[in-house]
């Protein structure tokens, strides 16, 4: 996988070295000499990964640059690896707390660097895919711009469920002490889970199970595929650390576990999971918005046309008949004028429920707009379609509607036109037009009735 990596370091020798190492693996490398310059370049060029030096003369240091990158919506999804010669605990924590995904000490171990780069980039591919789909949704008008910042901010909340897979009691105790402050921690095989986990901590040094197998199984399981995994390894066991990353662990922590480091790594992993969950959720939601009528929860016109076209084509090609009914609530304007729009909306919602209970699971009930509804009935001939329409009509006029805030029930009736596309070669528009004509006839004949029109050839 090729990617663009931004290297921010004040020393030319360091930049050259990293450029050579990364270039040898076919990564494209951008460079900056100062923290501020790095932030601006990242904002403009949107690299896939950033390697950030800490000590840079003049202006901001690497920690501050990282904090700024993680605070901007345009760059917060780009993973950052902090590189430094300061190999002490405080500096490592500062880096992680600034939001960096990883902290590596110079001189850089090539294998370790490449393992982390690959692991972070593979995650970035998923994020990019989600972001691209969201951008598409916005362009198509399916994702509402107004909603934009709101749900994505949820990733800032970090409390969640942590699942620990370990058999070392001392280590479990230390993990619980560290993460129990912010999160709900459960140990596999010991505690009852309180919900799906947001993070899994897996020991790679357990005696009673194979940690690699646990990671592999979680990566391939449907429910746990996106779950962030933090692998616990011996600090000098680079081979196992790299193997864990290759199998799909998102992060590594050395033993004995430093509780503050664990807290910082858990936060970063969970924040990223929340961010990705929020993106996925928005996509699901936008897909639903795209086909659903917001007031009634029925399908909308866009969905109707998408479904009806192939069904009608199949019927034309000698396939099974499809019938449609066009339903209009009688005197709806008068009802709105008399009682107000809130009552009108309540009637539309109540009608939608009756529509839902009087159609089959295989039918598609849609709101076309205003007080007009269409039901697509696949594999249904015109006479059966008329019976279904008659049943719906009776369910509407049979019991009055109740609107909240209104002291008395309201009598509502509907007029329905039915058309069936049997073996005719008419278009979807012509079929809808025929059902509309039938509806018009029903209105003219005094409302509260069903008129059916079967296709010319089948009649
Ligand atoms: Mg430096």
Distance from residue 28's CA to the centre of ligand 1 (Å): 22
**In contact, 35 and 62? CB cutoff 8 Å:** yes
CA of 236 to the centre of ligand 1 (A): 26
Structure tokens at 440: 């018009």
Report residue 69 as tokens. 């990158």
Active site residue 12: no
Q: What is the pLDDT along the chain (459 residues), one digit of tens a residue?
A: 579 999 999 999 999 999 999 998 889 999 999 999 999 999 999 999 999 999 998 889 999 999 999 999 889 889 999 998 877 788 888 888 898 988 888 888 888 888 889 888 887 887 887 777 777 666 666 565 544 444 445 455 568 899 999 999 999 999 999 999 889 999 998 888 778 999 999 999 999 999 999 999 998 888 888 899 999 999 889 899 999 998 989 999 999 999 989 998 998 888 888 888 888 877 777 777 778 888 998 999 888 888 888 888 887 777 788 999 999 999 999 999 999 999 999 999 999 999 988 888 889 999 998 999 999 998 899 999 999 999 999 999 999 998 888 889 999 999 999 999 866 677 888 899 999 999 999 999 999 999 998 655 444
**Coil vs helix vs strand at 215:** helix
Looking at residue 434, its pLDDT comes to: 93
* Partner residues linked to 322 by β-bridges: 378, 421
pLDDT recorded at residue 306? 81
The tokens describing 457, both together, are: 């050839």
CB 54 within 8 Å of CB 84: yes
Domains detected in the chain: 1-108 (3.40.50.2300), 143-284 (3.40.50.2300), 301-454 (3.30.70.270)
| Ligand 1 centroid from CA 9, angstroms | 6
Residue 202: strand pairing partners: 165, 231
Transcribe 313-369 into DSSP letters: HHHHTT---EEEEEEEETTHHHHHHHH-HHHHHHHHHHHHHHHHHTS-TTSEEEEEE
State the pLDDT at residue 320.
81
Q: How far apart are CA 52 and CA 120, in angstroms?
A: 15
Q: What's the chain's length in residues?
A: 459
State how beta strands 364-369 and 229-233 pair. unpaired
Among residues 306, 246, 2, 292, which one has the least CA distance to residue 124?
2
SS3 annotation, 270-320: HHHHHHHHHHHHHHHHHHHHHHECCCCCCECHHHHHHHHHHHHHHHHCCCC
Give the distance (Å) from ligand 1 centre to CA of residue 62: 9
Burial of 366 (C-beta count, 10 Å sphere; 0-12/13-18/19+) = buried
Instruction: Please pick, among 134, 371, 422, 426, the residue that the annotation labels catalytic.
Output: 371
Q: Which of 97, 411, 151 is nearest to 261 (CA)?
A: 97
CA of 392 to the centre of ligand 1 (A): 76
Among 199, 125, 224, 209, which residue's Cα sits nearest to residue 167? 209
Ligand 1: centre distance to CA 5 (Å): 18
Tell me the two tokens of residue 70.
């993680």
The whole-angstrom separation of Cα 202 and Cα 213 is 10
Q: How far are the Cα atoms of 94, 139, 160, 203 from residue 210, in angstroms, in the given order?
A: 33, 47, 26, 9
Look at residue 370 in the predicted model and tell me its pLDDT.
Answer: 92
* Cα–ligand 1 centroid distance for 14 (angstroms): 9
Q: With DSSP H G I counted as helix, E B as strand and the rest as coil, what are the percentages for the chain, rounded to 5?
A: 50, 20, 35
3-class SS at 78?
A: coil
Is omega for the bond preceding 107 within 30 degrees of 0, making it cis?
yes
Which DSSP symbol is given to 459?
A: -
């Amino acid at each position: 996988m090729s990617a663009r990596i931004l290297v921010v370091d004040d020393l030319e020798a360091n930049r050259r070295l990293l450029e050579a190492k990364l270039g040898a693996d076919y990564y494209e490398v951008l460079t900056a000499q100062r923290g501020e310059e790095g932030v601006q370049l990242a904002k403009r060029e949107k690299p896939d990964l950033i390697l950030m030096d800490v000590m840079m003369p003049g202006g901001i240091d690497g920690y501050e640059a990282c904090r700024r990158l993680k605070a901007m919506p345009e760059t917060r999804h780009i993973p950052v690896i902090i590189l430094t010669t300061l190999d002490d605990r405080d500096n490592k924590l500062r880096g992680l707390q600034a939001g960096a995904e990883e902290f590596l000490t110079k001189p850089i171990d090539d294998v370790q660097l490449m393992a982390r780069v690959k692991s972070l980039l593979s995650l970035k591919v998923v994020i990019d895919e989600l972001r691209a789909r969201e951008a598409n949704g916005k362009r198509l008008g399916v994702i509402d711009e107004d909603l934009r910042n709101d749900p994505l901010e949820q990733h800032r909340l970090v409390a969640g469920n942590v699942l620990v897979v370990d058999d070392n009691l001392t280590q479990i105790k230390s993990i619980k002490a560290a993460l129990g402050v912010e999160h709900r921690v459960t140990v596999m095989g010991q505690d009852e889970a309180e919900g799906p986990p947001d993070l899994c901590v897996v020991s790679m040094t357990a005696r009673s199970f194979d940690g690699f197998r646990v990671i592999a199984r979680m990566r391939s399981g449907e429910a746990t595929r996106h779950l962030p995994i933090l692998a616990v390894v011996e600090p000098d066991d680079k081979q196992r650390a790299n193997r864990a990353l290759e199998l799909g662990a998102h992060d590594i922590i050395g033993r004995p576990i430093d509780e503050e480091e664990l807290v910082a790594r858990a936060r970063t992993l969970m924040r990223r999971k929340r961010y990705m969950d929020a993106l996925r959720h928005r996509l699901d939601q936008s897909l639903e918005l795209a086909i659903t009528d917001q007031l009634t929860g029925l399908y909308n016109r866009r969905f109707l046309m998408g479904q009806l076209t192939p069904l009608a084509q199949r019927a034309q090609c000698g396939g099974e008949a499809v019938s449609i009914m066009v339903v209009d609530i009688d005197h709806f304007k008068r009802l709105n004028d008399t009682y107000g729009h809130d009552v009108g909306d309540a009637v539309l919602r109540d009608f939608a429920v009756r529509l839902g209970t009087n159609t089959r699971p295989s039918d598609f009930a849609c709101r076309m707009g205003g007080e007009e509804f269409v039901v697509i009935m696949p594999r249904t001939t015109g006479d059966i379609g008329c019976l279904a329409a008659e049943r719906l009509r009776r369910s509407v006029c049979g019991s009055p509607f109740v609107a909240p805030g209104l002291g008395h029930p309201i009598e509502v009736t509907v007029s329905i036109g039915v058309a069936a596309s049997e073996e005719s070669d008419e278009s979807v528009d012509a079929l809808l037009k025929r059902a509309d004509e039938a509806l018009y006839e029903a209105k003219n004949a005094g409302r509260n009735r069903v008129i059916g029109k079967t296709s010319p050839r089948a009649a």
